[in-house]
Amino acid sequence: MAPPALPQGRWLDVDGVATRYFEAGAGEPLVLIYGGNFGTGDSASSAYTWNLNAAALAGRFRVIVPDKLGQGETGNPPGDDYTMAAVVRHLAAFMRKLGLRPAHLVGHSRGGYAAARLAMLHHDLARTLTVVNSGTLSPGVGTNEVALARPPHPRGSREGVRWVYENYSFSPAAVTDDWIDTVLATLALPKYQESVRKMEVEHLAARLFLPELAREKRETLQWIADGRLQRPVQVIWGFNDRTAVIERGMELFRLFAAHERDTQLHVFNAAGHFPFREHPARFNALLAGFVARHAGPP
Amino acid sequence: MTAVHLLEVAGVPTRVLHAAGRGSPMVFVQGGVPGVSPWVSGAHVWGDALVQSAAGHPVWVIELPGSGATGLPAGELSVEMLGAHLAATLGALAIGPCHLVAHDLAALLSLQLALEAPQRVSALSLVSSSAAAPTGDGVENLTLAHPPAPLWSRESQRWALERIVYAHQSIAATLLDACVAAAGAAPHVEAARRMRSGEHEQVFAPSLLRAKARLFAALRDSGLTVPTQVVWGSHDPLTSVEQGMWLFRAIAARQPAAQFHLINRAGALPFREEPAAFVQVVRAFADGLGLWVT
């Protein structure tokens, strides 16, 4: 059976950055924000990450999946601003340009960090927040670099990419050829190769991206601890994620729960870093219930 | 909208509440140890969560022996007896595989049923259950250690219920009315008499340990084939989040379709304290498993 396709991609100029996004359905706006970042040479996220969820959820909601700054087919950061702050600014500008009313933000992994940051900087854009397996947002030790260090295959090769996603996942069967094809297609884009060059050859990852993320993460965790979110929030976690272990999700839940009455933690067994890909039907049902419960005025 | 039936199950009058609907049935089973818990249980504990969870689908609420209006069968007052009566009641209803939503002690009974007769259970939602969770040589829980006399009076039950929830405001007068009525009903009076005359220490408490040992061995050795979720309150005074997580871990070891959910600012009665969040989680599980499809 063919995997559910995303709708035809659309394009929007966002502060001079050609931005690709997908949109389907009507009703409550739901913005799905995938993980990763620009310039990684052995894996590459894109809107496709949500292909098992977007179509199903579009039956009830207006689902929007943007390609983040420098990722998927969206253009690279202007002025070499390869930072998470630029990613968050771009997402906010994208949502404002689309004229969305307050949306349900769903962020996975690094996208969970971006979504939380977005919600706490732009409360008028956020109705609820859902964070999925985000080591980037959680306090504690991330184990990506332990679990995924130096894939034993040529960099960016099909085998190498498959190895990375299999190690992210609970079941190797979750890593479909289709998924790998999409990652390889993104990796092959000249603008993506340029971002890899910037991050690795010009060392922007070590000089700029990671230090800036660490600095802003300190501030972000402090904001959560201060109760700055002020929106209903749920933390969803794949139980078997080796890169962001369950204890980190639990800790993130506690951080939010101290201030937000409406906080939930949901754990999926037999799921790694991508629970929405390993158990799409139950994940979609859970997310739909949360969004419906917090629907805004019509 | 709810019809009340008094069934004769294995010779014991058994009260069952029912809301008609179409599709896969959902069955709620309440917690509380009959004749022992300082608040008296029955169908009334569920509150609005019942009707909201139904969403047009058939719902049944079973009252276990010694609670509400369900009598006590002959023989020992043990976990095995309660489990057997639950199985017999489901058999008498003849409703086919159902989604069991079970609180506290009933979670242990429902797990046992799902292990022994998986064809009768389509899904399990286990709620705030110190009975089913590993005890783990924890320290004595003092939450309900010294209830004010007279036991099971309105004030004493209010004291107990307020202590097991996150916010005392969630204990409504209607709940207290129902608990007081249940305390005066013959099944509870009889259960209390028997438990006080030594059956709690001699029979029930050992049966609870036996049932837990059976449960964890079965989860470890053969595993549970029924999709199961564990739902816990973040501030349950009777059982810790870690205990809930370990129950989930024990189930998850062999059951891929296992989920764990933590509801914030809820104690031991999350379905009354945060009904909207509770209903959302229970319905989403059924939705995600395709149980609503008629």
Count of Cβ atoms closer than 10 Å to residue A219 Cβ: 10
Question: Are the C-beta atoms of residues A223 and A123 closer than 8 Å to each other?
Answer: no
Q: CB distance A260–B284 less than 8 Å?
A: no
Measured in degrees and rounded to the nearest 5, phi and psi for residue B6 equal -110, 100
pLDDT at B294: 45
What is this model's ipTM? 0.90
| Residue B294 belongs to some domain of the structure | no
In chain B, residues with a C-beta closer than 8 Å to the C-beta of A250 are 241, 245
Which residue range forms the structural domain that includes residue B132? 3-289
pLDDT at B288: 95
**Domain A10-293 superfamily per CATH:** Alpha/Beta hydrolase fold, catalytic domain (3.40.50.1820)
Residue A65's alpha-carbon distances to A47, A57, B9, B113, in angstroms, are 6, 12, 55, 44
Interface mutation vs chain B, best among A265, A278, A290, A294, most B CBs within 10 Å: A265
Average pLDDT over residues B4-9: 95
Distance of CA B205 to the CA centre of its chain: 17
* Nearest CB neighbour to B261, from listed A239, A264, A284: A264
Of B172, B174, B192, which Cα lies nearest the Cα of B183?
Answer: B192
| Residue B49 belongs to some domain of the structure | yes
Query: Does A295 contact chain B (CB < 8 Å)?
Result: no
Q: Rounded distance, CA A106 to CA A290, Å?
A: 11
pLDDT digit string, tens, across residues A244-255: 999 999 999 999
pLDDT band at B48 (very low <50, low <70, confident <90, very high): confident
pLDDT at B292: 66
Determine what percent of chain A is predicted with pLDDT higher than 70. 100
Nearest 5°: the CA angle A290, A295, B2 is: 70
Lowest mean pLDDT among A20-34, B18-32, B112-126: B18-32
Answer with the residue of higher pLDDT: A206 or B49.
Answer: A206
pLDDT at A78: 98
Nearest 5°: the CA angle A177, A183, A188 is: 125
Average pLDDT over residues B128-135: 95
Provide the CATH number for the domain around residue B248: 3.40.50.1820
Given a cut of 60, is residue A136 above it in pLDDT? yes
pLDDT at A2: 73
Question: For chain B, how many structural domains are there in total?
Answer: 1
pLDDT at A127: 98
Question: Are the C-beta atoms of residues B271 and B278 closer than 8 Å to each other?
Answer: yes
* Nearest CB neighbour to B288, from listed A239, A265, A281: A281
In chain A, residues with a C-beta closer than 8 Å to the C-beta of B259 are 266-269, 282
- Nearest chain A Cα to B257, which residue? A269
Given a cut of 60, is residue B293 above it in pLDDT? no
Polymer length of chain B: 294
Q: CB distance A264–B262 less than 8 Å?
A: yes
Given a cut of 70, is residue A218 above it in pLDDT? yes
* Nearest CB neighbour to B259, from listed A260, A268, A293: A268
pLDDT digit string, tens, across residues A146-196: 999 889 999 999 999 999 999 999 999 999 999 999 999 999 999 999 999
Answer with the residue of higher pLDDT: A187 or A141.
Answer: A187
pTM: 0.94
Question: Are the C-beta atoms of residues A216 and A120 closer than 8 Å to each other?
Answer: no
H helix runs in A60-109, sequence order: 84-98
pLDDT at B139: 86
For chain A, the structural domain boundaries read 10-293
* Nearest CB neighbour to A285, from listed B234, B252, B287: B287
Looking at every residue in chain A, the average pLDDT score rounds to: 96
Count of Cβ atoms closer than 10 Å to residue B91 Cβ: 13
pLDDT at A1: 62
Average pLDDT over residues B245-263: 97
